[in-house]
Amino acid sequence: MQYAHPGLANPEYYVPGLPTDYVAQRYGIDPNEIAKLGSAENPYGASPMARQAVADALDRLHLYPSWTAEPLREKIAEVYGYEPNQVICGAGETEIISLIIRAFCEPGGRILMPGPCFPIYHLFAEAEGRVPVLAYEATDRQTMALDVDTYIEAITNDTRIVFITNPHSPSGTWTSEADVRRIIEAAPNALVVLDEAYVHYSETEGYIHLANEYEHVAVLRTFSKVYGLAGLRIGFGVAPANVVDALLAIKTTWNMGQLQIAGAIAALDDHAHLDRTIETIVTGRAYAQERFAELDRFRMVPDSRSNFFLIEILDPETDSTKVFNGLLERGVIVKDGSVSFRGLEKRFLRSDANFKEKMDRLVDGLADLPAGQDSP
């Protein structure tokens, strides 16, 4: 079999968080007793206004949608101060990332990203025959924050795309607007992609306005998190019109369906759902930090501004896979950093921030784990 390039001969795949039913069946645990903290999903579910809009759109299922998702582009432009021709919509933010990689980096070209990072960046790059450059040296291992000076030094003349994730995944750490601008201005020959998938949990407006100020910046957001529409698959990006034109030229013609368009438009007006979700996550995150002070074998990496945080394993006699499996046996689902994120090795887990009672389940589960004991 002849592959287009070597990256497809032995591909690596994204590892999602485990579903509740899998853990319930494997360990014989009541699904209602499982704390699902590995997928960064909305604890309240989907936006009620989006649910109603989706139901109302069912009579349009026989009709082709706008191939550009024009009604949604118009709504996003209105909400964020752009023109519709500066908006691109996709089946999740991940689809837009794949389009950007194809459109703005040639095969063999270099794409800069923090190390560790959201795995889709390097997985898509490799699947498309591009070269991901993970700047591990730019991450402070104690705080997991981005060292902006070091990251800028990693930008070269042949860097085609520079990713900035804010809040960062998997740590949730925050980069100031001044530092984001420094990175943008240090990469005039690259497309700088500011990924703001989790920005609502930062309790700021984010930096979506920067795509209106620079000719080489795209800002991405998702409806999967704060709006609770992960199952509908909706994301969008704002960028200069010529950037969007290139993405429209290579995207699947009808990549957005009637239900996606209707649900997303309604979700943007569901401020009550958004505010309730943010308040719960921010409260749960702060509560988790307090509870982690009780532990001596695990540390919650501080200063997350997202709906998840990293847990560092301080006990040298165990590792992330053993702890991950031990928590599963206790009905707690998190992410094993060694499986989900390159560069975390076996010293970190990632957990969602959530209701206080689920944070209790997490911390109590960690406290209950025997020191250094292997899990089956």
The DSSP secondary structure of 240-257, one letter per residue, reads -HHHHHHHHHHS-TT-S-
User: Residues 92, 93, 98, 99: what is their CA dihedral angle, to the nearest 10 degrees?
Assistant: 90
Q: Is residue 134 part of a domain?
A: yes
351 shares a domain with 229: no
Q: Is residue 278 part of a domain?
A: yes
Last residue of a domain, one of 270, 288, 303: 270
Place 3 in a pLDDT band, splitting at 50, 70 and 90: confident
Q: Is residue 375 part of a domain?
A: no
289 shares a domain with 266: no
154 shares a domain with 105: yes
Q: What is the pTM for the complete model shown? A: 0.96
Angle formed by the axes of helices 258-267 and 48-56, nearest 10°: 150
291 shares a domain with 206: no
Q: Could you tell me what percent of the chain has a pLDDT over 90? A: 94
324 shares a domain with 177: no
264 shares a domain with 169: yes
Q: Is residue 220 part of a domain?
A: yes
Domain CATH code at residue 86: 3.40.640.10
Q: Is residue 42 part of a domain?
A: no
pLDDT in tens, 256-303: 999 999 999 999 999 999 999 999 999 999 999 999 999 999 999 999
171 shares a domain with 208: yes
pLDDT in tens, 87-142: 999 999 999 999 999 999 999 999 999 999 999 999 999 999 999 999 999 999 89
282 shares a domain with 264: no
Last residue of a domain, one of 270, 288, 313: 270
220 shares a domain with 102: yes
Last residue of a domain, one of 270, 292, 307: 270
User: Which residues contact residue 37 at a Cβ distance below 8 angstroms, ignoring those fewer than 6 apart?
Assistant: 332, 333, 334, 351, 352, 354, 358, 362
196 shares a domain with 155: yes
236 shares a domain with 296: no
Q: Is residue 376 part of a domain?
A: no
C-alpha closest to that of 143 among 335, 284, 303, 349: 303
Domain that holds residue 68: 48-270
Number of domains in the chain: 2
148 shares a domain with 82: yes
Give the rounded distance of the alpha carbon of 121 from its chain centre.
10
Q: Is residue 81 part of a domain?
A: yes
d(CA 151, CA 165): 13
Q: Which residues pair with 35 in a beta bridge?
A: 332
User: Which residues contact residue 53 at a Cβ distance below 8 angstroms, ignoring those fewer than 6 apart?
Assistant: 262, 263, 265, 266, 267
d(CA 43, CA 36): 9
